[in-house]
Structures are given as structure tokens and as C-alpha cells.
A and B are shown apart, each in its own frame.
Chain A
């Protein structure tokens, strides 16, 4: 009985909230596009079709912005340990003054906040997170709208990060590192032996992968596999295209002697050869690679 009353009040509050902005609602900027489900969950059949039950469902999908407690974002890793959920839902980012900077939705709230922290740490003081169970696109969007409308009702404006044209909070596609080049070009005469350049390269960088083709488009399956593994590990690594005859002329033969390894790709960690694709794959599958990279 008490529960039913609370639900009714919640639905009534939601209804009033939405009806308060019939025409004069400021334009909502949808800065974050959720990725479409590859395997959408089956839609559960609902017995009611009228508007009120739908409103009640939406209201129950996520707590109101005002009722949600804020969690401080720690400077170490951009998220409080275990306090931010890694599930789907809506979240609001507050700066250190307690002002809302951005309201977004995400398939992984903790990951999104961590990404925001990395790009604009000065704007991330604390976060409110509202988890949405059974997060299909419509439910997530409705939850996001309900938080936006609630904020607009209180403040009379749109959060700065959600204004049209503001790209601060949009996830940027990760920029691929360029492949390294050992020489300024084929036409230049080397004053240092190539093996010295190789030696310095593998010792000055944590991880170096000598691959066939560029890292953005490896030209053989083994090099492709190696790049995929390193990307999955999230490690910072350098790559060298051994087929680049302009800037890496003579590298293939010199490297084979240097490493005592006849094929490519070749992966070096901490200045030592780890091996080729087979060994890297084996270590990756056994979890040994992650341990090696953390040393």
C-alpha cells in the first residue's frame, strides 16, 4: 500500500515535471550517442498501453537527480574505487563548485567518467550516477531527458556541457600513434650503424613492435594479431613498419641478426625480444603478458 502510494506520487511528479515545459523548453543538445546493441535483449511484453503506466515505468527506471547522492571523483584514476557503477545509465558531472557541467548517458558510467577525467579533470569534482536496468535505447534516453528536465526546471538553463556546439564532453576517437622511422630517408647517409639505432630504440621504449605494414593497417595476419593484442592490453607501445623502404631501409636484414629471429612481427619489451606472434598470443592467453607489461 505504501509502495503503491510512493509510485503514484513519483508518477505524478514526473507528469507535472514534463508538463511544466509544453513549448518553452530550451533545446536539448544530445551530445552522447549510445552505441546500438549488437544483440538487443528481448523486449518484455507489458500488459498496459496507456500513457500513465509508461510514465510510471520511466520514473522508476532511475532515481531523480535531486535524490541521487554525489560521489567525489578521485584524482588517481578518475573514479572513486568501486563507488561508480560500471553499468548502463545516466550521470551528471559537477565541478568543484558544485555546479552541473554535463549530463550524459552511457553503457558504462565508470568508464565514461574516467574518460572525462582524463580530458577535463578541472571540471570533474563529483558525479551523480543513476543506473538503468534493462537499458534499451529508449529507456536510457528517457532517463537522460528526465534528469535534463529536472535540472532545467531548477536552474532555468541547460548544463554548459550539453549546449549545442560544445564538444568538450564528446568522446574523441583515439588518435593512433604514428609508426616510428629509424632514418630521415633513403637518400641520407647513416652516420650511426643501423643496429645501434635498433638497440637504442628497443631500450628507450617499454614496448616496440616491428611489424609488416603500418599499425593502422597491418599487411599480414600475424602483425594484425599482434597489434590487436597490444591494443587490447591498453599498453603504450611503439611500432615500426619493416616494409617501409624509404625510412626503414635495410631494417629487416639487420633486425634478424640483432634479434636472432628470422620472421616478422617481432615484439620487444624492456629491451628484450619477447618473440613473434605465436609467443605473444600464448603469453596473452595465459595472462603472462599483462604481468610482464606491469613490471
Chain B
């Protein structure tokens, strides 16, 4: 058996200490595939490319077996809070 969702979550938690983490297993039969949304203070001051690199590095071992990794969100807690407030204000408007 390949990489599990729990293993991905465990590695990301251990290395990036996220305040919010969501991992979706999208494997469809052609190899392990995951979609990741992660919020971490370690992203502060980092541009998007570096943030993705940090996630890739945290999953260095798992990447050997992962067919596709999609990082939909890699933001700081402040950005995450802003997005949440933005989402809440949208329906009201």
C-alpha cells in the first residue's frame, strides 16, 4: 500500500506546525494523489513559490510515492483570518 492521508497529515504537522490543515485524498487509481490546504506561521514573509517548496520539503519521503500533489492554499494565520472574514461578509452583501 502507498502513502496514506494520515501519513501526509502527520509529516506536515511535525514539520510545519500548522494552525489549520486539510488533506484530501484524491487518488483515483493512477497513483497516490492529494490536495492540501495549510495555514502556518512559518509562511510569514515567504512568497508563494517558497511556501510550496516548504510543503514539498516537508513531504520529501512521501513525495517518492505521491503521483500528484496539489497545494490549493498555503497561507499565514493572518491571511487565513482575512479570507475567513471575507467569505463571511460576502453572503451578507
Q: In this assembly, does A220 line the interface, its C-beta being within 8 Å of a C-beta of chain B?
A: yes
Q: With CB as the reference atom, state the residue of chain B lying closest to A222.
A: B68
Q: Are B53 and A276 in contact (CB under 8 A)?
A: no
Q: Most B CB atoms within 10 A — which of A261, A273, A278, A279?
A: A278
Q: Is B92 an interface residue (CB 8 A)?
A: no
Bin the interface of chain B by size: 10 to 19
> What class of interface size applies to chain A in its complex with B?
10 to 19
Q: Is the CB of B49 within 8 A of A275?
A: yes
A278 surroundings in chain B (CB, below 8 A): 52, 70-72
- Contact assessment for B48 and A279 in the assembled complex, using a CB-CB cutoff below 8 Å: yes
- Contact string against B for A residues 216-241, beta-carbon threshold 8 Å, 1 for contact and 0 otherwise: 00001010000000000000000000
- The 0/1 profile, CB within 8 Å of A marked 1, for residues 36-49 of chain B is 00000000000011
CA distance A218 to B70 in the complex (A): 18
Given B56, B68, B72, which contacts A261 in the complex, CB threshold below 8 Å? B56
A262 interfacial by beta-carbon distance below 8 Å: yes
What residues on B are CB-neighbors of A25 within 8 Å? none
The answer, among B48, B49, B69, B72, for a CB contact under 8 Å with A263, is: B69
Q: Shortest CB–CB separation between residue B34 and chain A, in angstroms?
A: 12
Name B60's closest neighbour in chain A (CB-CB): A262
**Residue B63 is within 8 A (CB to CB) of chain A in the complex:** yes
A191 interface residue, CB < 8 Å from B?
Answer: no
- B contact set with A: CB distance below 8 Å: 48-49, 52-53, 56, 60, 63, 68-72
